[in-house]
Amino acid sequence: MAVPRAVVWPRDPHTAAKHDLLKKYLQPWARILLTHHDSVTYAEGFAGPGVYIGGEPGSPVVAHRVFAEALQQRPKGARMVLVEEDARRVQKLQHQLVLAREHTPDEISARMQTELHTGTCHPTLLDRLRSGGHLGKPLFVLLDSYGGPDIPFSLLQQLAQFQRTEVMLTFVPNFLTRFAEKNDGHRAAGDAAFGGTDWHGVFTQPAARKFAYLRDRYRESIKRAGFPHTLYFEMVDEGGHPLYLLYGTRHALGVEKMKDAMWSVDPAYGVQYRDPRDVQQQALDLEFEPNTDPLGRMLLEVIVGSPGGQLVEDLQQYTLLETVYRPAQVISLIERMRDGKAVATEPRRITKKTRVFPYAEKPGQGELF
Ligand SMILES: C[S@@+](CC[C@H](N)C(=O)[O-])C[C@H]1O[C@@H](n2cnc3c(N)ncnc32)[C@H](O)[C@@H]1O
């Protein structure tokens, strides 16, 4: 993606998808956390100008709207900490936030605090989160750079020390495959972002594997930084290059809600899934009833690897934490696998407590999926 020089720029389809995802995730996040806590914090390290050329809202305004709505239901508070290095964009964003407040009832605005800082994401964001007492409280951090290696691994490590922090990051592997082969400053920037040199393996990968390789290494880095559960969301830019949003959390409930949000992004944006665990790497369109064949292949591997069988609830947990699918998709899939004689179940009726075994004679295995 060419880096825009103007203060505002046109919103492309993947940015629209990103905002749709952000909104659909922040809605349940705010609702759940405001039930148990007095306040939540939303932070951005690369906040942008808050508006696009066509008048569409930028991510801080999308978030402001979500919190204003959530606070209508609950007598709680929301705080926003926004950092942007370009002073022209800070000014623009300031204005957009004034407009957003004008559209918010006074009683709700009084419970929303917004701080905007001109500075580089690191260390400004962490300094502000620390001095404002946000760390350790429910905190969602969006690090939406243009996708190059701009987010230091050390920042992720420091954020991950706090139980209730979640992160969402933009990652564009094209940048590293294009620039980092020459051992210049770009390679050092990659090392700082990945927190090591493992990603250098990309230089010897076949061309078709490079992007997925970097995505998987980056996902591992986020995990290593201290977020045990990670998900990614794949989009394609105008040049046909993949762009990823990566999400890191310590909470299984966050994974569940983020997956729900991912599967409900408007498919008109041309976004897709590809599960790294599916050996056939089948791309999945985001449909109301997504194709679960790749999940069938993955579950079959797990089931065949456990002669004593697997409980449906364990397969659901595996599905939640290890694949792009949702636990709610498992029961109907197991029914289909049983009817296709890929697996056997005990008892026949499928609930969370049903045990699933490899089918004894194995006819149809490999054919159904
Ligand atoms: C992709 S845009 C953000 C878009 C915004 N999150 C949205 O969705 O509407 C990236 C922004 O980061 C800013 N930026 C680039 N490098 C930065 C850095 N090191 N620290 C803070 N801001 C930076 C750019 O000026 C730009 O406004």
Provide the CATH number for the domain around residue 107: 3.40.50.150
Atom in ligand 1 nearest the alpha carbon of residue 22: 8
* Listed residues 209, 242, 274: the one ending a domain: 274
CA atoms within 13 Å, Cβ hemisphere of 213: 16
Ligand 1 atom closest to the CA of 45, numbered from 1: 21
Beta partners for 141?
Answer: 43, 167
pLDDT value at residue 271: 64
Same domain, 186 and 237: yes
86 CA → ligand 1 middle, Å: 8
- 109 with 37, same domain: the answer is yes
Pocket test for ligand 1, best of 96, 142, 145, 235 (most atoms within 8 A of CB): 145
Say what the pLDDT of residue 279 is: 63
Is 1 domain-assigned?
no
Q: Is 243 inside any structural domain?
A: yes
Residues 187 and 321 in one domain: no
Asked if residue 248 and residue 121 are part of one domain, the reply reads yes
CA-proximal residue: ligand 1, atom 26 (nearest): 48
Atom of ligand 1 nearest to the CA of 147: 1
Rounded to whole angstroms, the Cα distance separating 33 from 36 reads 5
Residues 113 and 211 in one domain: yes
Please calculate the CA angle 38-26-20 and round it to the nearest 5 degrees.
160
Atom of ligand 1 nearest to the CA of 120: 20
Has residue 280 been placed in a domain?
no
Which amino acid makes up residue 13? Answer: P
List of residues 6+ apart from 314 with CB closer than 8 A: none
> Rounded to the nearest whole angstrom, what is the distance from the C-alpha of residue 175 to the centroid of ligand 1?
16
Place of tokens 């040049």: 239
What is the 3-state composition of the chain as percent helix, strand, coil, each rounded to the nearest 5? Answer: 45, 20, 35
pLDDT for 240? 74
| Nearest ligand 1 atom, CA 86 | 25
Question: How much distance in Å is there from the Cα of 25 to the middle of ligand 1?
Answer: 21
Q: Residue 47 C-alpha to ligand 1 middle, in angstroms?
A: 5
Q: Which two tokens stand for residue 280?
A: 């056939």
CA 253–ligand 1 middle distance (angstroms): 29
Supply the pLDDT for residue 348. 93
- CA-based R_g, the chain, Å: 22
Is the N-terminal amide bond of 347 cis, ω within 30° of 0?
A: yes
- Do 24 and 170 have their domain in common? yes
Sign of CA dihedral 320, 325, 326, 332: negative
Locate all alpha helices (DSSP H) within the chain, ordered by sequence: 13-36, 59-73, 87-102, 106-109, 121-131, 153-160, 173-179, 185-194, 210-225, 252-263, 293-304, 312-322, 330-339
User: Do 329 and 223 sit in the same domain of this protein?
Assistant: no
- At 232, is the secondary structure helix, strand, or coil? strand
Residue 368 covered by a domain: no
Ligand 1 center from residue 145 Cα (angstroms): 5
Domain match, 173 and 224 both: yes
Q: What is the pLDDT of residue 364?
A: 46
Does a structural domain hold residue 285? no
8 Å CB contact between 1 and 146:
yes
Looking at 247, 274, 301, the residue that finishes a domain is 274
Q: Which of 146, 84, 151, 74 is nearest to 111 (CA)?
A: 74
CATH of the domain at 341: 1.10.10
Quote the number of domains for the chain: 2
Please give the backbone phi and psi of residue 111, each rounded to the nearest 5 degrees, phi first. Answer: -100, 10
Phi, psi dihedrals of residue 185, rounded to the nearest 5°: -60, -25
Q: How far is CA 304 from the centre of its chain?
A: 31
What residue numbers bound the domain in which 208 lies?
A: 13-274
Q: How far does residue 3's CA lie from ligand 1's centre (Å)?
A: 10
| Cα separation, 246 vs 25, whole angstroms | 13
Q: What is the pLDDT along the chain (369 residues), one digit of tens a residue?
A: 578 999 999 998 889 989 999 999 999 999 999 999 999 999 999 999 999 999 999 999 999 999 999 999 999 999 999 999 999 999 999 999 999 999 999 999 999 999 999 999 999 999 999 999 999 999 999 999 998 889 999 999 999 999 999 999 999 988 788 777 777 778 899 999 999 999 999 999 998 889 889 999 999 999 999 999 999 888 877 777 788 899 999 999 999 999 889 888 876 665 666 666 666 666 665 554 567 888 899 999 999 998 789 999 999 999 998 887 889 889 999 999 999 999 999 999 999 999 999 987 544 444 455
- Is 364 domain-assigned? no
Neighbours of 108 (CB within 10 A): 17
Q: Which atom of ligand 1 lies closest to the CA of 57? A: 9
CB 168 within 8 Å of CB 22: yes
Comparing CA positions, the residue from 126, 73, 65 lying closest to residue 100 is 65
pLDDT at position 185: 75
> Which value, to the nearest 10 degrees, does the dihedral of the CA atoms of residues 270, 275, 281, 283 take?
-20
Specify the residue with its C-alpha closest to ligand 1, atom 10: 145
> What pLDDT is stored for residue 365 in this prediction?
47
The terminus-to-terminus CA distance of the chain in angstroms comes to: 36
Residues with CB under 6 A from ligand 1: 15, 45-48, 58-59, 83-86, 89, 120-121, 144-146, 150
Q: Which residues pair with 70 in a beta bridge?
A: none
CB 30 within 8 A of CB 20: no
* Inside any domain, residue 252: yes
* Whether 162 and 189 share a structural domain: yes
128 and 224 co-located in one domain:
yes
In this structure, is residue 7 part of a structural domain? no
Among the three residues 227, 245, 274, which one is the final residue of a domain in this structure? 274
Nearest CA to ligand 1 atom 27: 48
Atom of ligand 1 lying closest to residue 145 CA: 10
Query: What's residue 273's pLDDT?
Result: 60
Do 308 and 336 sit in the same domain of this protein? yes
Q: Say if residue 156 is in the same domain as residue 203.
A: yes
Q: Is the alpha carbon torsion for 85, 115, 105, 98 positive or negative?
A: negative
